[in-house]
Chain A
Amino acid sequence: MTSTWRLVAVLSGICAVAGLALAGVYEVTKEPIAYQKKLEVIRSLEAVLPGLDTDPDSYFLDMQREDGSEVRVFRSPAEDGNAVAGAAFQVVAPDGYSGNIFIMMGVFPDGKLGGIEILSHAETPGLGNLIEDESWKGIFKGRSLDDTNFKVKKDGGDIDQLTGATISPRAVSGAVEKGLIWFKDNRDAVLDASVGEKPASTFGETS
């Protein structure tokens, strides 16, 4: 009997010490991890809304798509603060070569794309992952539903596919087009400067 108690005591002791140590490390790393996550969003916002002030913590708008999925729209206020100068939101391309592709896209009020940023993907290294290249992402800049057919060239559209990889660009471009259509349909709500989180007083300090 005593030996059984010893087993329990030793194992419990080790678990308790391990638990305490982990709690300590978690406390120490909590802030830096949250900061890194925020930094990631800020970087993607700066990439897709070039030239605009972007702060992920203020002036955003939580909306719902027709299919019920939630979408957070990050917005930049115009200089006078009474209008929205640009909006950025995340779209998902479910039809990539390998799993979902998460994309951040920025749109200006006139419906033109500020740019796109690939947040995460699992496409083939060396082929599909070339969608991460600036040169490919750059071709979306300034395009809108009016002047662009968002199919890849192979399918008769305007978007370049990549050598050896058509599926990934097709998926990204399709998701971006859907995002633009969603923006067009919800334009008034997204650009309504009177709703949503107000710009913080410290606005702009992040850039």
Chain B
Amino acid sequence: MSGYVQEFTKGLWKENPVFKMVLGLCPLLAVTNTAINGIAMGVASTFVLVCSNTVVASLRSIIPDKVRIPSFIIVIASFVTIVDLSMNAWAHQLHKTLGLFIPLIVVNCLILGRSEAFASRNPVLRSLVDGIGMGVGFTFALFLLGAVREVLGSGKLFGYEVLGGAYNDVLVMILPPGAFLATGVLLGLFNYIESKRGV
């Protein structure tokens, strides 16, 4: 049992996909101008990650080594299309905001990376837990970045004023350069905490 817990928690901190492995930066930089966008992107990616990890793990003994990458990509692309269509139907506004970046989950190296490095070598349940852990870690990172950028860039969080009218919006934070600035600072902060813990 403790093995599963560890499989889950490693995605949150020790092997956090964004802060530790620096994976999946394309959607990270592109859609995190608000906290809600970050969470939506994270949840969509988590769904794809968990489903593809599970399917890949259950097919791992059938799929020949030579065609494993195309097989993984078909599995991932199918789940991404399912997410894309479902969001368009039932979360239309969010789908409009995230736009092109939903289909682009296909090329998120985090997802193919987990299929290749983990799910293709581990049992189904373990891969499922790994997918959830990595997904939650990814969502956490996207949310954190989105929240920081939204608060600094527009003085709001989830659309509500939090810094008051006197605050002067730092517009650059919700523009693309702000994504790089915030990511850099957060990465630095993360590594600083790590070094203090004496790892």
Contact = CB atoms under 8 A, between A and B. Distances in A.
Interface of A: 3, 6-7, 10-11, 14-15, 18, 21-22, 25-26, 28-29, 32-33, 36, 39-40, 124-127
Interface stretch (B11-19, B85-93, B105-113): B85-93
Nearest to A6: B64
20 contacts: A6-B64, A10-B64, A10-B67, A10-B71, A11-B67, A14-B71, A14-B75, A22-B78, A22-B82, A28-B89, A29-B89, A32-B89, A33-B89, A33-B92, A36-B89, A40-B92, A125-B33, A125-B175, A126-B154, A127-B171
Contacts of B71: 10-11, 14
Contacts of B169: 126
A30 to B, nearest CB: 8
A22 B83 CA distance: 11
Interface of chain B: mostly helix, strand, loop or mixed: helix
Q: How large is the interface on B (under 10, 10 to 19, 20 to 34, 35 or more residues)?
A: 20 to 34
Nearest to B174: A125
B166 to A, nearest CB: 17
Interface centre among A15, A21, A126, A127 (most CB of B within 10 A): A126
A29 B86 CA distance: 6
Interface string B139-177: 000000000000001100000000000000101001100
Nearest to B77: A18
Given A36-B89, A126-B154, A126-B169, A18 B67 contact: no
B90 A32 contact: yes
Nearest to B96: A120
B85 A21 contact: no
Contacts of A39: 92
B59 to A, nearest CB: 8
A10 B71 CA distance: 9
A32 B85 CA distance: 10
Contacts of B9: none
A25 B174 contact: no
A11 B67 CA distance: 7
A74 B154 CA distance: 37
B31 to A, nearest CB: 12
A7 B174 contact: no
Nearest to B63: A10
Interface string B24-54: 0000000001000000000000000000000
Contacts of B181: none
A25 B71 CA distance: 20
Contacts of A29: 85-86, 88-89
B42 to A, nearest CB: 20
Contact of B81 (A15, A22, A28, A125): A22
Nearest to B173: A126
B74 A124 contact: no
B88 A36 contact: yes
A167 to B, nearest CB: 16
Contacts of B74: 11, 14-15, 18
